[in-house]
Amino acid sequence: MSGNGACNGTKNGVSNGSAYYRSNPYQPVPDFLSNVDKFKIIESTLREGEQFANAYFDTETKIKIAKALDEFGVDYIELTSPAASEQSRRDCEAICKLGLKAKILTHIRCDMRDAKLAVETGVDGLDVVIGTSSFLREHSHGKDMAYIEKTAIEVIEYIKSKGLEVRFSSEDSFRSDLVDLLSLYKAVDKVGVHRVGIADTVGCATPRQVYDLVRTLRGVVSCDIETHFHNDTGCAVANAYCALEAGATHIDTSVLGIGERNGITPLGGLMARMVVTAPEYVKSKYKLHKLKEIEDMVAEAVQINVPFNNPITGFCAFTHKAGIHAKAILNNPSTYEILDPADFGLTRYVHFASRLTGWNAVKTRVKQLGLSMTDDQVKECTAKIKALADIRPIAIDDADSIIRSFHISLQPQPHRPSEPVPTDEVIPAEEEPEPAA
């Protein structure tokens, strides 16, 4: 009963809004907390991504990736802690000196020694992290919550005294005690931390759990909320989206999602999700046509292929195959596409070399080949393509030669097949090869 009432209220209560949402079926559920059209990206290919099994970034590669991400328009670039190694520290300094538009962050343990080392590198901000789950407290650093809170406040105050931005994050947040977490975040918010972070370090969270936790936290702190989602169960993009709906302000990503184990929310996957939800914001802020170039660069650097089912840049992301799909796509791409390949500098491909093809797809190919046929002729030609494709897989070249020879067969022939062909006219004499010197 009350459900119906609420539904009617939304429909009739806000007439402009309801018309807007009716005409834009991809729009998010309206919510005053939602940041789906004003989020920021913390790009962590050079931190989380360095934890990917195959990753080894030399200084030159790090600089290339940092510059590409900056051009793409990410808000922050997060780097490996300078405490990790001497080379990591030098690389951090080198990237800070590039003068990029993106703010440079480094990711450190909640430890004064790490903080002191990091502030000397020239970064714009520090992402401080500590494990708060019982697993990490018992098996990793062995500290209790009182110690964690005291150290966190000391480190945050020190970083702030240096005029730098500071984020405080728990690790494995979804397996931490909620009361512990909220009181810790409240304490660091009180001393003026810029962001608190929620991290699904083990990739266990569901979108609904994310929504609930972020929304609860939104009611407890006044600072920004950053979120970090691992992709162990394939929920990393969905979780990032739900976090934004619940009021998170920053999302951590990496190119192709590379990171510890099978990684985190991928930059491209998040862009695909968000450009559908908030096209004006995403298209005006991020240079989407650079996405493929960045993904190819990182894929090469870590020696992997871009997966076939990658959003946007998977090789078949804009390929339409079935006859019914092809026909509709050729009439109006929106029928089967919510993403426009042109937004990413890519093109769609209507597959016509298969047994599932339809005559509309073949008709388009006939035109592309500069040939002309009536619709009935195209249909006859399509039947020939399907007949061959029923016997074996066919390539574009196979389908093209069927089209071409069918087209030739339609032309008035100089010689009827019944007429004898004079042999001296069709077999040209072969030229003698030049004798070798």
CA–CA distances in Å: residue 390 to residues 85, 119, 353, 393: 59, 66, 11, 8
Task: Report whether 232 contacts 274 (CB < 8 A).
Answer: no
Toward Zn ion, which CB reaches closer, 43 or 48? 48
Toward Zn ion, which CB reaches closer, 47 or 320? 47
Which residue's CB comes closest to Zn ion? 48
> Site residues for Zn ion, window 355-384 (CB under 5 A)?
none
Spatial separation of the C-alpha atoms in residues 3 and 45, rounded to whole Å: 44
Query: What residues pair up with 200 in beta bridges, in sequence order?
Result: 229
CB of 86 to Zn ion, least distance (A): 23
CB of 49 to Zn ion, least distance (A): 10
Spatial separation of the C-alpha atoms in residues 249 and 41, rounded to whole Å: 9
Task: Report whether 123 contacts 82 (CB < 8 A).
Answer: no
Toward Zn ion, which CB reaches closer, 48 or 91? 48
Could you tell me the two tokens for 413?
Answer: 């022939």
**125, 127, 122, 55: which is closest to 94 by C-alpha?**
122
CB of 168 to Zn ion, least distance (A): 16
Toward Zn ion, which CB reaches closer, 48 or 127? 48
One-letter amino acid at 270 equals L
Toward Zn ion, which CB reaches closer, 41 or 385? 41
CB of 83 to Zn ion, least distance (A): 17
Place of tokens 């592309």: 368
CB of 372 to Zn ion, least distance (A): 58
Helices (H), 167-322: 178-190, 207-218, 236-245, 267-277, 279-285, 291-301
User: Which residues neighbour 317 within 8 Å (Cβ) at sequence distance 6 or greater?
Assistant: 310, 311, 339, 341, 346
Spatial separation of the C-alpha atoms in residues 16 and 14, rounded to whole Å: 6
Give the contact letters, 31-50, x = binds to Zn ion (CB under 5 A), - = no. -----------------x--
CB of 5 to Zn ion, least distance (A): 43
From 107, 325, 351, 415, active-site residue: 325
- Give the burial class of 414: count Cβ atoms within 10 A of its Cβ; 0-12 exposed, 13-18 middle, 19 or more buried: exposed
Toward Zn ion, which CB reaches closer, 48 or 224? 48
Toward Zn ion, which CB reaches closer, 66 or 258? 258
325 in active site? yes
- Give the burial class of 56: count Cβ atoms within 10 A of its Cβ; 0-12 exposed, 13-18 middle, 19 or more buried: exposed
CB of 167 to Zn ion, least distance (A): 14
Toward Zn ion, which CB reaches closer, 207 or 257? 257
Spatial separation of the C-alpha atoms in residues 40 and 238, rounded to whole Å: 16
Spatial separation of the C-alpha atoms in residues 62 and 66, rounded to whole Å: 6
Q: How many residues bind Zn ion (CB under 5 A)?
A: 1
Task: Report whether 394 contacts 355 (CB < 8 A).
Answer: no
Cα 84 off chain centre by: 28
Active-site amino acid positions: 325
- Residues in contact with Zn ion by CB under 5 A are 48
